Amino acid sequence: MKIDNLVLLKGVLDMRITNVECRLYRVPPTIVLQDSIQRIPAWEWLITTVETDAGFKGTGWSYTLGMGGSAIRELINSYLTPVVVGHDPHDVERIWTRCWQELHANGSGGFTTLAIAPIDIALYDILAQAANVPLYQLMGGYRDSIPAYGSGINLHLDGDPLLEHMEGYLARGFHAVKMKVGRDNPEEDVERVRSVRKLIGPQNKLLLDANQKWTPGEAVRCASMLEPFDIFWLEEPILADDVPGHARIRNTVHTSIAAGETLFTRYQFADYIRAGALDVVQADIPRVGGFTEWLKIAKLAESNNLPVSPHFAMELSVHALCAVPGGLVLEDVQGGSLTELGLLEEPFTVQNGVATPPNRPGHGIVFNQSALAKYEVHGQVTGVVPTRV
């Protein structure tokens, strides 16, 4: 049964949420991950199970880059679970809004939305299972696959190691690659980008990510230095909180500006779009609070003729991108996929530069519980390493 509207599900199956449980896992990266402002010492995964009295069980998750996971776990288990239990999972808007209202006094986004996301994602998983369709079809079913790009967190690499990294993406069939920029000496960025452009040739897309490194003036200067290498987009050139600064850069340079991984609400995205501050909308599904909020941001982008290309979380992003007309390209982060980390029962990988959602009811992602067990954090987190460089 394929459906086009969640409303049609209402009344098909009467069920109630009976339990919500979040577990925290700290997983070391498989490779060194460093950008212009931080290193990633551990991925923190907040994996949440939502159970219903009809036998359907959904799984959702959010993540951190090594800080704050235990706080999010506590928000879910102690504060949001009593809010959610007893509701009909079809009422995703009602549940999302109630959770957001409960937490809003602590901030409209960030910990608030990272805590809501695993529950919201699990609810969509349940609804797609109940409808017996893959999640992307439940949410819109615009396409059946999406192009992907190989994304490297690799500011520490240059010379042959950087080129070997990029060659690995080409060997896997990618036609677009992303590298980090933001060295203290911009001439080093120029040399690194020049070498990668020469390697991949003019037929492949080259994306750059500065991870909020520069001031607006520095960004204009550095972007101008990098423009000769035909950059597809320049991502997060300055502090994500600086909307006028992004608008200044976009109105000055000729390279498309991408942003959104460090934004957490549709209101923040609306501010960016009204200011003419970006060309590519990169809303991160866990960071904005799950699919309920992400779909609103995607429609906001669509109504302003802007494409969406979610940050990270490719196992979720593939469904979102295939659901909506404005989907541009999927990010496959080396060292960041659940498959690469060995956490899934069945691998999810990009084939020849194209990603296809799992063709089973729900989001189709099944975690390997025995693999996860050795990384679970019970009680207090210990051995925390600062992330900033």
From 175, 311, 319, 363, the catalytic residue: 311
CB 189 within 8 A of CB 370: no
Six token digits for residue 113: 């939305």
CB 88 within 8 A of CB 107: no
Burial of 4 (C-beta count, 10 Å sphere; 0-12/13-18/19+): exposed
From 180, 246, 296, 363, the catalytic residue: 180
Token pair 């998750």 is at which residue?
61
Six token digits for residue 309: 């290309």
Strand-pair partners of 21: 49
Tell me if residue 7 falls in helix, strand or coil: helix
Alpha helices in the chain, H assignment, sequence order? 69-74, 81-84, 92-103, 111-131, 135-138, 159-171, 186-200, 216-226, 243-252, 266-274, 291-303, 314-323, 369-373
180 has catalytic annotation: yes
- State how far the alpha carbon of 343 is from the alpha carbons of 225, 321, 346, 352, in Å: 41, 23, 9, 22
Question: Distance (Å, rounded) from C-alpha 254 to C-alpha 96?
Answer: 39
Alpha helices in 227-265, H assignment, sequence order? 243-252
Tell me if residue 346 falls in helix, strand or coil: coil
Token pair 């009602």 is at which residue?
94
Give me the phi and psi of 128, to 5 degrees please. -70, -35
Rg (Cα) of the chain, in Å, rounded?
20
Instruction: Provide CB contacts within 8 A for 27, sequence distance 6+.
Output: 42, 43, 44, 45, 341, 343, 375
Of 6, 23, 12, the C-alpha closest to 95 is 6
Q: Which residues are catalytic?
A: 180, 311
